[in-house]
Amino acid sequence: MKFTKLAAASVTALMVATPVLADLVFPSLSYRTGPYAAGGIPYADGFADYFTLLNERDGGIGGVMTSAPECETAYNTEKGVECYEATKGEGALVYNPLSTGITYQLIPKVTADDIPLYTPGYGRTSAANGKVFSHVFNFPANYWNAASLAVNHLLDTNGGDLSGKKVALVYHNSAYGKEPIRTLEGLAAKHGFELLAIPVDHPGQEQKAQWLQIRRERPDFVLMWGWGVMNQVAIQEAANIRYPMENFIGVWWSGGDHDVVPAGDAATGYKAVTFHGVGSDYPVFDDIQQYVVGAGKAAGNGDNIGKALYNRGVYAAMLLAEAAKKAQEIHGTPDITSSMMRDGMEALEITDERMAELGMPGFGPAFTVSCENHGGPGTGAIQQWDAAAGTWSLISDFGPSDMEVIQPLIDEDSAAYASENNIEARCN
Amino acid sequence: MPEQLLFAMEVTLNGLMAGVLYALVALGFVLIFKASGIFNYAQGVMALFAALTLVGIQQGQVPFSHLINAVFGTEIHHFPWHVPSIIAIILAAGVMVLFAYLVEKYILQHLIGQPDIILFMATIGLAYFMEGFGDIMWGSEIKTLDVGLPQGMNLAIDETTFNMFGYGFFIDNLDIVAAIVAALLVTSLVIFSQYTKQGRALRAVADDHSAALSVGISLRFIWVLVWSIAGFVALVAGIMWGAKSGVQFSLSLIALKALPVLMLGGFTSIPGAIVGGLIIGVGEQLFEFAIGPMIGGATQNWFAYVLALVFLIFRPQGLFGEKIIERV
């Protein structure tokens, strides 16, 4: 009798303690600790808050509630892979690891497990080729688009002529940081500028030699491919040597609020490439305030709303939610699997009207994803920092990147991957 | 004067300045190793924790606010005040003294007589605990450190060198302040250890634990004292490095910059930490300037260790370290 009571109590306790499992699971491999937390926190907040908004405002996606359980990677590749292995059995629909290192490790795993991998603006650039990378998506833009967009901006601001100019690239001395070099070499050959590549070792706390070199070489423009503390130190060092900030352009991973704030007023004028809108002047953020922050359900304390990385997290979550909706439509069921999610991502169509309906008019480009093109349109804009106002402003329209230079590189790199891994091209 | 020579002079000067910042971190390691034989793996995290505490106090941040809000459903983040920098520095130094007391009471006291490797392991545990504790206490967001230190190019040096050589040298004002602070710190430490009762006790413990104990010196007091001083040195290092990049968790990685300095200068010598820092600073910057571009650049991190290894081969105890002689 005692045992029966105990067993009944245990079962009841277990039922009460076990959370109700959400049907649509979007794991968030986040990093809220460690050296890269400053960028990881706002992104993770934005990603989580958008799914909370969908639950609170719309009752989930297609009537099914969503969840974005977090697994802390600390931006560590091994931990990221552990997170993937630990969570993939919990109904994960798609992974967005926010790390190029983790992405490279996960590409073969997700393909084998039939789970899509979403890496907007990071990861393996040539994964834009859907014929080779069936489960990897990096729309709406990738690193090589970013390099081209930065050069396009230089062309726009220099009468379309960069011949004889010197462009320095200050980059994180890692696979990530080296990504734009080939594209920039191609663009340098095309437009006649000289490229000066200057590496900075991890973590990038000491960059005196690099910035003294820039002071000596006097490049006309400096591009930056940094992450973490490297960004803050570089912007401070640029200010120290009085390098004109309007000639200094970072990739979108060097364009967070936390990258410019430590340098204070000296950072005013610094630019960065972006593939989405800036600030909080969009209806979706009012909804997040009302349904998420106001209801006490925000992932953070709500003060990251409108910051560059927060917006990127929201944008990534929105695109995944739209892909999930598309998957529900295609397969005629609200309870989709990861395989169906992949189909939804491959058939994703974002229109300007839909962006307006979502409360994000003009926040990102209209585009479609296809079997061949997992990379989207590759468009982007330039944002500029105003320290006094504490805001980024878009100073250009969203424009295209130079696919004439980028596409052959994507084809070449993806062909090499296909050959190494015996992958037959799809989409025939 | 040839342009390349001028550039090399500028790089050398900046290397010296960078070396001072490395030495500031190395100093904390030396103090603890000298007094207790412990290689304090947590020194880098101590710099991070001290800087986090300083900014937190200065900005009136409520400690553990995330935890408090999560448990009690409140929405508190900041006190309605902003503490002046000097008071915040004093309070942060006070927190580091309290930290030293707690480390002695709850860790070191229980490990007296244990092999060095056990004490080293304890500091590894302490480092990770402090990193997590600092995160819970102050949050992981990047914080701007503003205690009024000047930053940017020193115009006087730029102008003077331009008038002399036709090329203005770049020296960061923050580096000049760091050099002055480091000089004051070392002078104060030397005066303290040479001319005060506690300083003499500290040196006695450093020379021979057992002999010091036998003449009535309290080992526990000395440990609290030396960890407090190392905590203060960590606070100074945290301020200097944090002013450059904001206070963020990568600050703990500055310890990596101290290791080659210690290998070169010796683990037991304060002048060794300073001279070692300067040699490493100048060596790595000159190598990057002269050889770096030929081999792809970004040589500073690994070259510092190569330089330290070369010195180690010829003087295993470091430039100023004490030769360990064990008699059977």
- What is the model's pLDDT at position B202? 87
The token duo for A99 is 């790390």
Q: How far apart are CA B13 and CA B311, in angstroms?
A: 22
> Is the ipTM, as predicted for this complex, more than 0.95?
no
Residue A52 has pLDDT above 70, yes or no: yes
What is the model's pLDDT at position A21? 46
Q: Rounded mean pLDDT of A38-63?
A: 96
Q: What's the CATH fold of domain A18-142+279-377+409-420? A: Rossmann fold (3.40.50)
Does residue B213 surpass a pLDDT of 90? Answer: no
In percent, the amount of chain B with pLDDT more than 90 equals: 66
Closest CA in chain A for residue B76: A301
Q: What's the whole-number mean pLDDT along residues B180-209?
A: 89
| Percent of chain A residues past pLDDT 70, beyond the cut | 95
| Cβ–Cβ under 8 Å, residues B40 and B32 | yes
CA distance B289 to B2: 15
CB B20 within 8 A of CB B182: yes
Q: What is the pLDDT of residue A14?
A: 45
Average of per-residue pLDDT across A110-137: 97
Residues 6+ apart with CB under 8 A from B245: A205, A229, A232, A233, A236, A262, B251
Tell me the domain boundaries of chain B. 32-251
Which positions in chain B touch A202 (Cβ < 8 Å)? Answer: 301
Distance CA(B105)–CA(B115), nearest Å, equals 18
Give the CB-side neighbour count of residue B206, counting CA atoms within 13 A: 21
DSSP 3-state assignment of A224? strand
pTM of the model: 0.90
pLDDT digits (tens, 9 = 90+) for B67-112: 898 888 888 889 998 999 999 999 999 999 999 999 999 999 898 8
How close is the nearest chain B Cα to the Cα of A45, in Å? 12
Q: Most A CBs within 10 Å: which of B52, B244, B253, B257, as the mutation test of the A interface?
A: B244
Give the pLDDT of residue B193.
86
Determine the residue type at B40: N
d(CA A217, CA A170): 13
Domain-wise residue ranges, chain A: 18-142+279-377+409-420, 143-275+380-404
Mean pLDDT of chain B: 91
pLDDT band at A17 (very low <50, low <70, confident <90, very high): very low
A232 with B140: Cβ contact below 8 A: no
Give the model's pLDDT for residue A22.
53
Q: Residues A184-200, buried b or exposed e (16+ Cβ, 10 A)? A: bbbbbeebebebbbbbb
Does 3.40.50.11900 match the CATH number of domain A143-275+380-404?
A: no
Chain B residues inside the 8 Å CB shell of A228: 250
Distance from CA of A262 to the nearest CA of B (A): 5
pLDDT, one tens digit per residue, over A253-269 is 999 999 999 999 999 99
Q: Concatenate the DSSP letters of all residues of A194-216 into one string.
A: EEEEEEE-SS-S--HHHHHHHHH
- Chain B residue numbers with beta carbons less than 8 Å from the beta carbon of A205 are 241, 244-245, 250-251, 253-254, 257
Candidate from A185-194, B29-38, B87-96, B222-231 with smallest mean pLDDT: B29-38
Burial status of residue B163 (CB atoms within 10 A of its CB: 0-12, 13-18, 19 or more)? exposed
Q: Give pLDDT tens digits for B139-186.
A: 888 899 999 999 999 999 999 999 999 999 999 999 999 999 999 999
